[in-house]
Structure 1
Amino acid sequence: MEKETVRIENFSDAVFAIAITLLVLDLHVPDANVVKNSAALLVYLKQQWTSYLAFTLSFFSIFIMWVNHHKIFKQIYSRNTAIMFANGLILFLVSAVSYPTALLARFFNGEASGIAVAIYTGIFVLINISYNLLWFIASSDKKLLRPGITSLAIKKIRNNYLYGLPTYLIAFGISFELPAVALAICMILLIFWALSSGKINVIQE
């Protein structure tokens, strides 16, 4: 069976690459007229810790999303209009990650941290929903999937993506009162998605 999703995957790879590159734009070099010695530079760098945190968290979030996107399209061999639009929704949300990342970098260490983290966790709620939607559409018609894939494998992949949704919702819900805890949950979910992408590879093989 010939794979029909090559163009979708190539286009998606380009969008992921651009989205991950945009994150670095929020890292700023200090003005040489203001920072004139090593001590001042160290003070400036320490003050920018929220920017480094936001950049690192978002970089690895997008990278792991790309890995999972790659693995999920190893299972999808054919495409229809619904799959193309569901994939487009994922790309739209991935492209938007740079904005809540900038908000997190600027406001996480202040009084507006709750709203900043809520917006940040909120976009990952939507991204998780979009991945679930993509797999739901693809798995609804087994003819769209790779030849020989079993019903058990389809179910395992579905459950893999469903598990993250309630956790992201919890992180979003507590963001307003416990932003640091909500962000820690996102970090834990990063580890979960990194490990679960390996499980998808095992299913594939």
Structure 2
Amino acid sequence: MTDQERSAGAVREEEKGRDRRFPLGRHHGLSDGVFSIAMTLLVLDIKIPQNLSSQAMVEALNKTALPAFATFILSFYVIGSQWMAHHEMFHDIGYADRRMSLFNLQYLLVIAVMPFPSYLLANYGGQPIAVAIYAISIGLGGLMRARLQWYALSNNLLKAGVDPKAWRKDAINAVVFGLVFICSAALAYISPIATYACWFVVLGGWAVLSRTGVFGVLKQRFGRK
């Protein structure tokens, strides 16, 4: 065998290694572990100083614990929604290749770091930089999830029978979700309250419309396809 043939064979073996496809068991285990730890760590931000009098404790609960608890609820809902979307996504994926695994790790990196922007929002919720960091973190999560969906769709990683049109629509929704949150980071420097209102509309309104079937009713009523 000549050196050129050996070199060509090595290239083919390397390409074969890159194209290997793996079962999803370990992806499920790692992903669920990251989500559960991130959601659990959120509660550590809810605390008040020790050895307080009754009146001081009431003040601490109102000024410190209540904002932290509100942020905990928001972040728990956000991460929980991302977990549900991730769970549904991987239910439709048949297997993963090396690049898909890398993209999933990058997505999990955003999830794992969420307790930090949540801490910033709980303690500095009136500061634009804290609100902006939180918004960008959520937005990046949406965009990373959309990238996973597009890659799986474009590289034939979906299970047989999965509707590619529905997947493409869900990926577009994830992109819109991510971009809205990233854009809301700029709004934080104008009014943090307006940014919170934007989040409420996106998270609350979107959830209500999609879960109650209002989109389906409108589609039937006006004949949208």
CA contact (8 A) 1:54 1:104 kept: yes
Listed as ranges, the matches of 1:7-156 within 5 Å are 7-32=26-51, 35-37=52-54, 39-48=55-64, 49-109=66-126, 113-142=127-156, 144-156=157-169
Code of the residue aligned with 2:115 in structure 1: it is S
Q: Which amino acid aligns with 1:129?
A: L
Taking the aligned partners of 2:97 and 2:155, their CA distance within structure 1 comes to: 10
**Identity in percent:** 28
Contact 1:128 1:165 in 2 (8 A): yes
Unaligned runs of 5+ in 1: 200-205
Q: What whole-Å deviation, never above 9, does each CA across 1:160-193 have from its counterpart, x for those lacking one?
A: 2122133213311211111121122223332325
CA contact (8 A) 1:67 1:197 kept: no
Which structure ranks higher in relative contact order (CA pairs < 8 Å, sequence separation ≥ 6)?
1
- Residue in 2 that maps onto 1:190: 203
Residue 186 of structure 2 is matched in structure 1 by 173
C-alpha distance 136-77 of structure 1, shift in aligned 2 (>3 A): same
**Deviation per CA, 1:39-75, whole angstroms, max 9, x where unpaired?**
3221110011321221111111111111111011111
1:121-171 Cα offsets, whole Å, 9 max, x none, are 0111211110111111111122x1011123322322222212213321331
Instruction: Give the superposed CA RMSD.
Output: 2.2
Kindly provide the amino acid, as one letter, of the partner of residue 146 in structure 2. N
User: Aligned to 1:176, what secondary structure does the other structure show?
Assistant: coil
- Alpha carbons of 1:92 and 1:28: their partners in 2 closer, same or farther (altered >3 Å)? same
**Distance (whole Å) between structure 2 residues aligned to residue 89 and residue 196 of structure 1:** 27
Runs ≥4 residues deviating over 6 A: none
What secondary structure sits across from 2:48 in the alignment? coil
Could you say if the C-alpha distance between residues 152 and 134 of structure 1 is closer, same or farther in structure 2, counting changes exceeding 3 Å?
Answer: same
TM-score, length-scaled by structure 2 = 0.77
> 2:42–2:118: 8 Å Cα contact kept in structure 1?
yes
1:78 Cα deviation from its structure 2 partner: 0.9
Task: Assess if the C-alpha contact under 8 Å between 1:104 and 1:117 holds in 2.
Answer: yes
**Maintained 8 Å contact 1:64/1:194:** no
* Larger radius of gyration between Structure 1 and Structure 2: 2
Contact map agreement 1:139 1:145 (CA 8 A) in 2: yes
- Equivalence for 2:8: none
Q: How many residues align?
A: 191
Task: Name the amino acid aligned to 2:131.
Answer: V
- C-alpha spacing 1:138/1:16, structure 2 compared with 1 (3 Å): same
Query: Per-residue deviation at 1:194?
Result: 7.5
Partner in structure 1 of residue 173 of structure 2: 160
